[in-house]
Amino acid sequence: MGKNRAGWPTFDKIKAETSVCTDKLLVFDRDFILVENPSNIDLSASVKPNRSFWERFPGLDRRKIELAMRSISENAPPLRITHGVDGSELCDLAIYRIADRIAVIESVRNRHDVERAILLHQATHDALTRLPNRRQFGADLTASLQEIESSEDILSLMQLDLDDFKPVNDTLGHSAGDKLLQFAASRIKGCLDSDDRVYRLAGDEFMIISMGPGHPAKGQRLAEALINAFKRPFTIDNIAVFVGTSIGISVAPQDGTNPEQLMKACDVALHAAKKDGRGCASAFDPALLAILEQKELLRRSLRTALEQQQFFIEYQPLAESDRIVGFEALLRWQHPLLGRIPPIAFIPMAEADGIMSEIGEWVLECACREAMSWPKDYIVAVNISASEFLTSGLTDRVSHTLDLVGFSPDRLELEITETVLLERTVNNLDTLYTLNVLGIRISLDDFGTQYSSLGYLKTFPFDTIKIDRYFIIDLVDDLKSQAIVRCVINLAHDLNMLVIAEGVETQQQAEWLQNAGCDRLQGYLISRPLAVEAIKEFISRPPTLPLG
């Protein structure tokens, strides 16, 4: 009866199998009329011989099943349906089409067992990717560590994080983000050996446990394979999306023998991988832990630095050819244990922790107060970080501070970088225009080092462009730097903007810049940043200016 297509069951095979287990077989014709009862099911209560499938299984959606069976071809997998029999039992049906017959295998399960199994599965698995979850991971890691204790095996633990997951979620929407996570999960699985295990802990955070005698080299090879697998784009809603992965690796017993140590080591390694750039894997190194612990210490003390008055400002002169025109305020942090911390070490941290606006407000007020004692034609330039700029209410805060201190807006210059203009463009332009209307000057800091879209210069009339030190450092010998600096000066002048060269350290640089028409200079050649106490002396006896 029926053709035996490779891999698919014949009736004989189904009969043989159902006769040795608790599953039962019924055979219907293509009109769903019972034609055979090979398992000798007692049908008297439910259906008499020659009656239909629908009497045996009342309550099923007849239209749907008929439709599905019509489209099931002979070598397709069976249609599977779970059907409640009574309060305590569930019946799973597997419905095969074999030649002109319909074979139905019934297997009855205890409803409570099934529900318990489903609940356990839900509690230990992630619904989106169907991978085991954090809970299962914790249990498996503990068990695996116990296992390697009594063997020579080595365990590699890997933490994967998708590069640029957030932008995909933000720009293409959450459902695209969900699809990306599902695709990422299957791409990870595609790289694993059968005994490696992958888990989704949260968001775009995946973990892999891989163990055996070939580690740690096997772990390294697996990490490389994963990184390569993520170099291919994902196609989501017909859009090719490039999302790499960064991987941290820790190894047991070498980097830790309990789950906490091993996870911490893995996390530290992941941080290092991300610092190396996108699409990198990094193995744990104890030196990394010391760096991270110091960072943690900094982060904790940063929260109290403001109230404990550990911040102060230094001022670096801004010079024209024959006179000083003002100072740039540069924030300093004197840490009670670690000494002076440079702004690049703590500003990104303050931005990430959401406290940069508060610090920035303090800088602005302090700088305006201290500048009150300078000559009336001196300006003060204050840096505004991207996070401060993007926090709503900046213009109100600035004008409130100016009112409070009684500082004239035309003596204030706010320095922003191009990163500010990358996000929420309409609002940002609004903020810039409002500041401009208040009479505050805006300068574009570190020009040329970031995204340098000339479009910004068209959409917003900056007062000043500051050419980054990167182009000044080799200016005298490097023809490319010369070409770029000359071009920026001309461009700025054509757009009615002033140009400041940052990081001017030598007389030759200053002369070259003056010949090229640069308006202002800033750098160690004129002066290093000065403590507030030194400003009075500096103003009363200014140094001979390089181009004076």
Residue ranges that bind Mg ion, judged by CB under 5 A = 383, 415, 445-446, 502
Whether a cis peptide bond, with omega within 30° of 0, leads into 317 is: no
Q: Distance between CA 537 and CA 40 in Å, rounded?
A: 108
**Shortest Cβ 385–ligand C2E spacing (Å):** 3
**Shortest Cβ 344–Mg ion spacing (Å):** 11
Q: Distance between CA 501 and CA 503 in Å, rounded?
A: 7
- Nearer to ligand C2E by Cβ, of 255 and 502: the residue is 502
Tell me the two tokens of residue 149: 């204790």
Q: How far out from the chain centre does Cα 97 lie? A: 49
Distance from the first to the final alpha carbon of the chain: 106
- Asked if residues 244 and 231 have their Cβ atoms less than 8 Å apart, the reply is yes
Tell me the two tokens of residue 104: 């139905």
- Nearer to ligand C2E by Cβ, of 342 and 548: the residue is 342
- Nearer to ligand C2E by Cβ, of 114 and 372: the residue is 372
Tell me the two tokens of residue 505: 């350290």
The 3-state DSSP class for residue 318 equals strand
- Nearer to Mg ion by Cβ, of 23 and 463: the residue is 463
Q: Give me the sign of the Cα torsion angle 299, 302, 303, 308.
A: positive
- Nearer to ligand C2E by Cβ, of 8 and 311: the residue is 311
**Shortest Cβ 472–Mg ion spacing (Å):** 11
Tell me the two tokens of residue 230: 């993520």
**Shortest Cβ 447–Mg ion spacing (Å):** 8
Which does residue 529 bind out of Mg ion, ligand C2E, none, counting CB within 5 to 8 angstroms by kind?
ligand C2E
Which does residue 18 bind out of ligand C2E, Mg ion, none, counting CB within 5 to 8 angstroms by kind?
none
Q: How far out from the chain centre does Cα 511 lie? A: 45
- Nearer to Mg ion by Cβ, of 138 and 448: the residue is 448
Which does residue 161 bind out of Mg ion, ligand C2E, none, counting CB within 5 to 8 angstroms by kind?
none
The 3-state DSSP class for residue 1 equals coil
**Shortest Cβ 479–ligand C2E spacing (Å):** 22
Q: Give me the sign of the Cα torsion angle 62, 66, 68, 69.
A: positive
Tell me the two tokens of residue 548: 């004076």
- Nearer to Mg ion by Cβ, of 210 and 385: the residue is 385
The 3-state DSSP class for residue 451 equals coil
Which does residue 20 bind out of Mg ion, ligand C2E, none, counting CB within 5 to 8 angstroms by kind?
none
**Shortest Cβ 388–ligand C2E spacing (Å):** 6
DSSP element (H, E) containing 404:
helix 394-405
- Nearer to Mg ion by Cβ, of 258 and 453: the residue is 453
- Nearer to Mg ion by Cβ, of 199 and 327: the residue is 327
Which does residue 363 bind out of Mg ion, ligand C2E, none, counting CB within 5 to 8 angstroms by kind?
ligand C2E
Of the candidates 475, 471, 520, 519, the residue with the CA atom closest to the CA atom of residue 493: 519
- The residues pairing with 98 across neighbouring beta strands, listed in sequence order, are 101
Which does residue 451 bind out of ligand C2E, Mg ion, none, counting CB within 5 to 8 angstroms by kind?
none
- Asked if residues 375 and 539 have their Cβ atoms less than 8 Å apart, the reply is yes
Residues that bind ligand C2E (CB under 6 A): 316, 329-331, 342-344, 347, 360, 363, 383-385, 415, 445-446, 469, 502-505, 522-524, 529
**Shortest Cβ 501–ligand C2E spacing (Å):** 10
**Shortest Cβ 347–ligand C2E spacing (Å):** 5
- Nearer to ligand C2E by Cβ, of 145 and 504: the residue is 504
**Shortest Cβ 220–ligand C2E spacing (Å):** 37
Of the candidates 372, 355, 300, the residue with the CA atom closest to the CA atom of residue 535: 372
Which does residue 279 bind out of ligand C2E, Mg ion, none, counting CB within 5 to 8 angstroms by kind?
none
Tell me the two tokens of residue 251: 């190894």
Q: Which residue has the tokens 């030196």?
A: 287
Q: Distance between CA 182 and CA 41 in Å, rounded?
A: 43
**Shortest Cβ 389–ligand C2E spacing (Å):** 9
